[in-house]
A = this chain, B = another copy of it.
Amino acid sequence: MPMIRVEMFPGRTPDQKRDFAKAVTESFVSICGGTPQSVQIVFQDVDRGDWATAGKLASDAAPAPAASPAAKSA
């Protein structure tokens, strides 16, 4: 406990997943209690052709700059 699932577009690097997993685990332990060992995180990449918002596949939409890693520097 807890089990955390993260569904997102593909494209995050192993480094990003590694850093995010570390940050989430630390936040859970410091805010909600428990041990780091109890925190399980599963990432699942979802292709843009498999994700629809407002009835529209993300693969059909104009590229969403906010959802790309490049947005970090924006």
Interface residues on A, range: 35 or more
Q: What mask results when residues 1 to 29 of chain A are scored 1 for a CB within 8 Å of chain B, else 0? A: 11111111100101011111111111111
Q: Name which residue of chain B comes closest to A41, CB basis.
A: B52
> Oligomeric state, in number of copies?
6
Closest beta carbon of chain B to A55's beta carbon, Å: 3
Q: Knowing A1-B51, A21-B52 touch, does A40 contact B39 (C-beta < 8 A)?
A: no
Contact A3 B7 (CB under 8 A): yes
CB<8 Å pairs between A and B, sample of 11: A1-B46, A3-B8, A14-B49, A16-B31, A18-B57, A23-B31, A25-B52, A33-B68, A35-B71, A38-B66, A39-B54
